[in-house]
Amino acid sequence: MERGTGYTHHSTVQAQGFKDGEAKIKQAMARNALLVDPSLEVIRVADLGCSHGSNAIHAVDFVAREIIELRDLKLSSSSSSSLEIQAIFSDITANDFNTLFSLVPHLQGKPYFFSGVPGSFYLRLFPRSSIHFAMTTFALHSLSKIPEEITNKESPAWNKGTMYIDRSSPQAAIEAVVRQAKEDLQNFLQCRAQELVTGGLLVSKFLIRTTRDLEGPLHNGFQEAWKDLIQEGIISQESLDTFNFPVYFRSCHEVQDAL
């Protein structure tokens, strides 16, 4: 496989999801006074949970171009032309930053600079009041960790027989993951509140449940494939009983509760 193409080829749904939300992002940016402040000579844009495909490049490029267009429209040519944009890609340390940066278009003579910051977005990533525009797209369903009790065979929360929280999970397991998801979302927001400058923008797009059904869009196919491997004797039942994905799709109510 050609380097850097794998994730791009398997993330078309995420790419379309960002494209579908571009009009809303443009509206929010157009109402933001900070982005057209003539005293700002550097604007920092951070993509949190960027992964390593072309989606991140497109998202940051979209925001940067929109900032430049807004300033061209509302400011004098001298104020607009002096602007420099720092695009910051951030993801966990295991992310393939080498592949990501091989996709970055290095445009000579353009006021556009790229950098990477490894780390979990559930922790502080940047100095206080340093980011003007932060965004995360289709990443907040990933939890910071799996609650220990759902992998403990002696616990009433042991999530046996499934790798996700679903309708077959014990109530104690569901409650443990809901608590973890709430804590994570609150930590995410508290960290961004410290990192964003006053008047800065935070755009978060993530999947939520609109029904009581706990099963999300990732659940069925992968889990059924895993069970097929168990039936064929390739892997053991214990491999499923002791494995849990750190993924949870919050409900609207759960998001509001965290806020």
Tell me the HSE value of 172 on the side-chain side, using a 13 A CA sphere.
Answer: 13
Q: Say what angle helices 54-74 and 12-20 make with each other, to 10 degrees.
A: 20
How many angstroms separate the CA atoms of 70 and 66, rounded?
Answer: 6
Closest C-alpha among 65, 147, 58 to residue 104: 58
What is the predicted pLDDT for the residue at 189? 97
| Neighbouring C-beta atoms of residue 14, cutoff 10 Å | 18
Asked if 218 and 150 touch (Cβ cutoff 8 Å), the reply is: no
* pLDDT value for 8: 59
Top-confidence residue, 105 or 46: 46
**Model confidence at 242: pLDDT above 90:** no
- Reply yes or no on whether the pLDDT at 13 is more than 80: no
Count of CB atoms situated within 10 Å of the CB of 218: 14
4 pLDDT higher than 60: no
- pTM for the model: 0.88
pLDDT in tens, 100-145: 988 887 665 577 889 999 999 999 999 999 999 999 999 999 999 9
* Count of H-run helices and E-run strands, the chain: 10, 5
What are the structural domain ranges in the chain?
1-119
pLDDT band per the 50, 70, 90 thresholds, residue 1: very low
For 108, residues 6+ apart whose C-beta sits below 8 A from its C-beta are none
Looking at residue 21, its pLDDT comes to 87
pLDDT tier at 20, thresholds 50, 70, 90: confident
104, 120 Cβ separation under 8 angstroms: no
Residue with tokens 């992964």: 51
Q: What is the dihedral of CA 27, 31, 36, 40, to 10 degrees?
A: -100
pLDDT at 172 over 90: yes
Q: Between 258 and 5, whose confidence is greater?
A: 258
| CATH H-level superfamily of 1-119 | Vaccinia Virus protein VP39 (3.40.50.150)
CB atoms within 10 A of CB 231: 9
User: Cα-Cα-Cα-Cα dihedral of 6, 102, 29, 125, to 10°?
Assistant: 90
| pLDDT for 222 | 78
Per-chain mean pLDDT for the chain: 88
- Tokens representing 195 are 């990192």
Phi first, then psi: what are they for 258, rounded to 5°? -65, -40
Contacts of 71 (CB under 8 A, 6+ apart): 35, 36, 79, 80, 83
- Neighbouring CB atoms inside 10 A of 27's CB total 10
Structure tokens at 79: 């104020």
